[in-house]
A and B are shown apart, each in its own frame.
Chain A
Amino acid sequence: MNPSSSAVIQMKDLRKSFGTQKVMDGLDLEIPRGKITVIIGRSGEGKSVLLKTMIGLIFPDSGKVLIEGTDMLELSGQGQNEMRKKFGMLFQNAALFDSMNVFDNVAFPLRQHSHLEEDEIEVKVLDKLAKVGLKNVGHKMPSELSGGMRKRVGLARALMLDPEIILYDEPTTGLDPILTDSIDNLILETQKSFGLTSVIVSHDIRSTIKMADKIAMLYEGRILSEGSPESFRESKDPRIQNFLQGKADKDFIG
């Protein structure tokens, strides 16, 4: 089997600057099919930008983003839109539609892309909401929810269409330890039962080690290191060890 067929997403030599700030600087990364890839890295290092590049929300200044071999950047607006049907995405800030209540937010992808009747939609939506630990919140507006609740509504919405590829931007940041564990389990469960490809951006080292098939560490616009959780734990690179153990550099004040 040639190596590219096992990679769902291939990113080649990506470069991206915002003004004078280089966020991606020759970044190469492959996301293996049917696996959980966790992207780690310092805050502001460009993890969210990287996720948005995968799904074509941010366009790199140069480089390639291949989704199952097709270059996202060469597609028309409509082609990209079609391509995004393969994806589900949980945004870091959840990005709920603030003009719709929770129920309509979660039902939105179904109403757009399925021909289900309203009563079938209701069953599915309530089921997904229950899976993320939310009950009796369907009528609430996003502004009436806590940050953690919003994140879980976003998660339910991202999972709604059972996409092939799911991008999670910090799915458990801001959740209590018990919820974190149950969301981790939900992600694992979804992964196992549908054989999805998952990409998770996470700051939670413990669950990263527990869940990841592959870890990629972003550092100064490139992938510093990628590999199994074991290879990360055994790495001699001080930058990786400091990150895993949460040690600040000596010259870092804060």
Chain B
Amino acid sequence: MIEAIQNFLFRNSRLQATLTSVGKPFTGAIKGVGSFVFFTLETVQWFFRGKFHVRVLFREMVKIGVNSTFIIALVGLFSGMVFALQTASGFRLINAESLVGSTVGVALARELAPVFTALMIVARAGSSIAAEIGTMTVTEQVDALKSMAVHPINYLVVPRVLATTLMMPLLVGIFNGLGLFGAYIVSIYLLEIPEGPYMMHYHKVMEPQDFFQGLIKGVVFGVIVSLIACYKGYHTNNGAEGVGRSTTQAVVAGSVTVLVLNYFLTTWLLQLFP
């Protein structure tokens, strides 16, 4: 259906000209979304029917996941620490400091860990994916792949999307763990909140589904962020400048998508786990 619309828009140049005069950004956006959806469908198709490139997958998992571990841990630690400071200063007013652990815990698990991890991955992996595939496109390396009957979506895109998707929940978990640790350290040792009630409230409030929600978000963000980066790279033209533009677009579009999508995911997950 969407493919049909997209084809129609591509083929029917007179309609396009008319629409263009109505509003270029508008048709641009429709065309953009249409071709992104088409790209996604193609990726799914190659995932199921194409050759499985295990080596590339592992290399990308290391590049995207393992090499991001430290930075994610660091950001997680400080996010937990600062969040503990802020909530404690609020709860102190009503003498409910022992609720800091559970509050930070829920916020981390459901929102902060998946969103911040996704944003870090956009900045770190999304940009490099877009730049790498973009450079390969403008230097005809993508054409060379095709000429050797290796489809670039199968060889370049599928492993990167898969690697990001597999690594995201792990990274979210690491962010979460370090965040909780940071909050604990700040609360117990710096703010001297009594450990007993802190932990008691934490265990009473936190449920496995809180973590589960974060992991689901992580998976969804992983898919979308890597697809956007691959798409932007794949549709690069105009040489070095084009690669720069694709990279920027991958980061901007990726971050915005994460933040907007997060709202809708939260809405959906709150209905799913009332």
Contacts and interface: CB of A to CB of B under 8 A. Distances in A.
| Dominant secondary structure of chain B at its interface with chain A | helix
A97 B144 contact: yes
Contact of B149 (A81, A91, A93, A98): A81
Contacts of A78: 45, 49, 151
B141 interface: yes
A52 B140 CA distance: 11
A52 B151 CA distance: 15
Of A95, A108, A161, which is in contact with the most chain B CB atoms at under 10 Å from its CB? A95
Contacts, number: 61
Interface string A71-103: 000000110011011011101010111110000
Nearest to B150: A112
Interface of B: 42, 45, 49, 51, 132, 135-136, 139-141, 143-144, 146-151, 153
A125 to B, nearest CB: 14
Nearest to B42: A77
Most chain A C-beta atoms within 10 Å of own C-beta, residue among B49, B136, B148: B148
Most buried by A among B42, B144, B147: B147
B143 A57 contact: yes
Given A81-B151, A82-B149, A112-B148, A91 B42 contact: no
Given A77-B42, A78-B49, A113 B143 contact: no
Given A77-B42, A78-B49, A95 B148 contact: no
A81 B139 CA distance: 20
Given A81-B151, A89-B147, A97-B141, 18 more contacts: A52-B143, A55-B146, A55-B147, A57-B143, A57-B146, A77-B42, A77-B153, A78-B45, A84-B147, A84-B149, A85-B149, A87-B149, A91-B140, A91-B144, A96-B141, A113-B149, A157-B148, A161-B148
Contacts of B153: 77
Nearest to B53: A112
B151 A77 contact: yes
Nearest to A100: B141
Contacts of B151: 77-78, 81
A56 B147 CA distance: 8
A109 interface: yes
Nearest to B147: A89
A196 to B, nearest CB: 16
A93 B144 CA distance: 11
B156 to A, nearest CB: 11
A95 B139 contact: yes
A91 to B, nearest CB: 6
B268 to A, nearest CB: 32
Interface centre among B135, B136, B146, B151 (most CB of A within 10 A): B146
